Amino acid sequence: MDLTLSFQELFDRHRRQHKARVTFDAALEAFYLYDAPNTDLAHRLFALYVLYAYYAAEETTQNPFLCLFLECLDPCVRGQWVERRFVASLLSGKADNFAQQSPNALAQRPDTVLSHPVLSMERHAELKQAVARWLVAPDAVVTSSPSMDNVKLDNATTIDWDALILIRACTTWPRLVDTLPLVPTQLVPLIDLNLLLATNVVPLLLQHTLLAPMYMDALIGQPVSMNSIEVVHHVLTQEPHLFNADFVHAYILKAIQSCYDVDGPWQDKLVRHVSKFIFSLIKMQALQPLSDYVLDLQVFCLEFIHNPGASALYQAITNQ
């Protein structure tokens, strides 16, 4: 491959060589070149241009390699600063600025050709949301908000279709988590709405966003539900470092208090669930030192001693 030719000439050759193949399969050849471990900068720039050029006539959000482009913009994921500027130029609609340049020239003297384009936060978020839609439903074109997924909880805790799309996609591509339009007050409603989804997303929120302390405050600030107990237990089991000791203590006290705030059959269920949760944490040795919890747990167990779960928890505490 003669990388002294211009990007456009090289792309035209590539397209002629693969004209018998469908567009995606032809573009894959360029992707494999880019992703190979020993590919040099000039070849990587060529591959990125080809992946863009094959779909240049369409809206950028329809490019199936958009995920790769967005990863190139992240210095923690892929590529060098030259690639970041190159991709930002492509996504900003400035491909014509260097279409007649050669990959070799660009790789050797990037500052003379590449400016420092700024992709707006709004455009970046729009492109990430497009990736999210592909990840959630790659064969679907969403033109309106499906009623089953457009959940209006109240003015403060609305979770709309676009938010749910992003939340679901985060489980496939965690780097989308920083685009989530999920304020802390929406966390518990999300947990109650979809336990499985929340179990996957909450660890990402705690690990990859600056709002982690506020999300933890939201878990403590609202009444504890059986779903939220499941999510907290999952995190403590799989990634215990995401919750500090102060949070665990405060959450247990909140869970105990929530048992007093309900009555009837629902109270019995919640007491049993809270008791099982605490018993599991004791077995995991997640409550350290246990002496800090004993008094509150004894009072709770004696108050609900008729409940089999509380009774079993009381026996576990007294045997420690």
Tens-digit pLDDT profile for residues 245-258: 999 999 999 999 99
Q: Could you tell me which of 170, 245, 244 has the C-alpha nearest to residue 209?
A: 170
| Spatial distance between the Cα atoms of 206 and 189, rounded to a whole number of angstroms | 17
More confident residue, 160 or 220: 220
Above 50 in pLDDT, residue 108?
A: yes
User: Do residues 132 and 180 touch, judged by C-beta distance below 8 A?
Assistant: no
Neighbours of 229 (CB within 10 A): 20
- The per-residue pLDDT for 285 is 87
Question: How do residues 153-167 score in pLDDT, each as one tens digit?
Answer: 333 444 555 555 556
Burial class (CB in 10 A: 0-12, 13-18, 19+), 97: middle
Question: How do residues 258-291 score in pLDDT, each as one tens digit?
Answer: 999 988 888 999 999 999 999 999 988 888 888 8
Above 70 in pLDDT, residue 127?
A: yes
- The per-residue pLDDT for 147 is 33
> Please, what is the angle between helix 212-221 and helix 245-260, to 10°?
20
| Spatial distance between the Cα atoms of 298 and 304, rounded to a whole number of angstroms | 10
Token pair in block for residue 186: 């929406």
Percent of the chain clearing pLDDT 90 (strictly above) = 32
To the nearest whole number, what is the mean pLDDT of the chain? 81
